[in-house]
């Protein structure tokens, strides 16, 4: 049986890296897309190949529709197709809505929402031809509840859009044997948050426990 292929945006570190390593352990070939995290992407790919797996690390700005299309074409040419697309990339910042800049607003949508549309359009033909495929998008906890979020408004709206886009893609692609789902994690300790932020978040969680990358991957 041919080895399955996954394309992961944001696969260089954090949750994306955890998913990449988990899929590689299950004998998937993994293409890791990064924009700026070259060192981390290279390290993740080396970790996979060091264990006997197949991995590529590819620099691509997936907020550019032509670049996103070229990324998919490169992976398909290298490995013959893409069985799973995992949209894990997405910038985040906290700023009051009235202090938000036009550039910051656009960054949230260009990083979190638009690439899912571009990449889904690019991978769909190949998946349809094989009558099989998986697309997994990352949203955020409570994104479907329309709660006012003054300090993360742009990010929150973009992630709500991810859910709407996911449902639409799922409806359109289901007849072709392709599933589309969204994961909406809460706060995840990826190792980058300062201790004081972790402590504050822990107090707000009823279970008294912050999720880890392993929790999300599992």
Positive/negative CA dihedral, 27, 28, 31, 36: negative
* Catalytic site includes residue 209: no
Please give the structure tokens belonging to residue 66.
Answer: 């032509």
58 within 8 A of 45, measured Cβ to Cβ: no
* DSSP 8-state assignment for residue 10: T
> Whose CA is closest to 61, among 107, 13, 23?
107
For 201, residues 6+ apart whose C-beta sits below 8 A from its C-beta are: 187, 193, 210
Number of C-beta neighbours around residue 217 at 10 A: 15
Beta strands in the chain (DSSP E): 5-9, 29-34, 55-59, 84-87, 133-138, 178-183, 188-189, 211-212
88 within 8 A of 135, measured Cβ to Cβ: no
Q: Which of 34, 92, 118, 156 is catalytic?
A: 156
* CA distances in angstroms from 97 to 1, 104, 159, listed in the order given: 51, 10, 16
φ, ψ for residue 97, nearest 5 deg: -55, -40
The residues annotated as belonging to the active site are 156
């Amino acid at each position: 049986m041919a080895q399955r292929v996954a394309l992961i945006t944001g696969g260089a570190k954090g949750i994306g890296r955890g998913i990449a390593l988990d899929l590689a352990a299950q004998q998937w070939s993994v293409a890791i897309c990064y924009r700026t995290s070259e060192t981390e992407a290279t390290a993740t790919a080396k970790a996979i190949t060091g264990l006997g797996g197949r991995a590529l690390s590819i620099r691509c700005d997936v907020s550019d529709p032509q670049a996103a299309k070229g990324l998919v074409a490169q992976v398909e040419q290298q490995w013959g197709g893409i069985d799973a697309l995992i949209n894990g990339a997405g910038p985040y910042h906290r700023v009051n809505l009235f202090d938000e800049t036009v550039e910051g607003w656009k960054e949230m949508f260009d990083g979190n929402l638009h690439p899912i549309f571009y990449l889904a359009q690019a991978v769909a033909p190949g998946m349809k031809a094989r009558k099989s495929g998986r697309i997994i998008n990352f949203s955020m906890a409570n994104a479907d509840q329309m709660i006012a979020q003054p300090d993360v408004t742009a990010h929150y709206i973009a992630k709500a859009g991810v859910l709407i886009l996911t449902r639409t893609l799922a409806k359109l692609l289901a007849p072709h044997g392709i599933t589309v789902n969204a994961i909406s994690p809460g706060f995840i300790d990826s190792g980058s948050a300062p201790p004081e932020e972790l402590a504050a978040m822990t107090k707000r969680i009823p279970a008294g426990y912050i999720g880890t990358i392993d929790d999300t991957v599992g």
